[in-house]
Structure 1
Amino acid sequence: MERNIKVPLTEPQKAGIASFCPYNIGPGKCFPSTFYKRLNAGDRKGACEAIRWWIKDVGRDCRIRSNNCYGQVIRRDQESALACWGIDQ
């Protein structure tokens, strides 16, 4: 993962990105994603926003609790919080 990122990252940011990309959505989807493009362009806030877009599971919107995948929404929020650690400072 780190060899594909062109901007410096803190340890919490690395943890959030590692959870999101290689572990949860996979490198094949992550590396060409808007998240990675924005991150490498230096748009950290935009990259953090893009993490939260990944809330569908087999076409089901995971924001709808009856779809039984709401854990993805929680996980994206957690990953975004870590990946965005300290960007406003």
Structure 2
Amino acid sequence: MAKITLPRAILVAVVSGATAFGIMQESVPILEANPLSAYQDIGGVWTICGGVTYGVKAGDVETVEGCRRRNAAAINIGLAAVDRCVTSPMPETRRAGFGLMAYNVGGSAFCKSTAVKLVNAGRPAEACAQIDRWVYVAGKDCRLKSSNCAGIVHRRAIERTLCEVGL
């Protein structure tokens, strides 16, 4: 995948030296819609707010403030997975890139990934490149237009770009 230019809000967070949490807070609204009513995502998972799936069921409705809280909690869960599984030091931008990936694929899947093995082995460039492999949803290759999930490919490009800052 080609590197992309980060959207302005994310770039501002990076340039200003924001923490991984701050970078992710700017990224989630760009990467995810923020619907106040639960819906089934392309994988059939009940989702609300900024892609939050934890405890969501059909018929759930949220307020704007409730979505802010849910999104912040999901960001913290993604970062906790990164902090638990990545043992090598990394800049906040890499932590944010991996955190966004963990936020989206789940902490368990992230922790079992080749990306984690490579970054822990001191091979961050190869670890960041692994993000490109995570472009399947419910068995569909999101690189194919007919799969109707191209947003995942764009998301992975942003995650990889953040991961590679400073390499």
Q: TM-score, normalised to structure 2's length?
A: 0.50
1:38: Cα distance to partner? 0.5
The match for 1:68 is: 148
Gaps of 5+ in 1: none
Q: Work out which of the residue numbers 78, 83, 96 in structure 2 matches 1:15.
A: 96
Alignment of 1:53 with 2:102, yes or no, is no
Deviation at residue 3 of structure 1 after TM alignment? 3.1
Separation of aligned partners in 2, 1:2 and 1:58 = 27
> Which of residues 82, 85, 110 is equivalent to 1:30?
110
Deviation digits for residues 16-52 of structure 1 (CA, Å, limit 9, x no counterpart): 111011x011111111110100010011111111111
Distance in structure 1 (CA, Å) of the matches to 2:156 and 2:117: 18
Verify: 1:5 aligned to 2:86, yes or no: yes
- Structure 1 residue 4: Cα displacement: 2.1
Q: Which has the higher contact order (CA 8 A, sep 6+)?
A: 1
Q: Distance in 2 between matches of 1:63 and 1:35?
A: 20
Separation (CA, whole Å) in 2 of partners of 1:25 and 1:60:
15
AA partner of residue 28 (structure 1): S
The SS at the match of 1:52 is helix
1:41-82 deviation digits (Å, cap 9, x = unpaired): 011111111111000011111001121100000000100010
Count of residues in correspondence between the two structures? 86
Q: CA RMSD in A?
A: 1.0
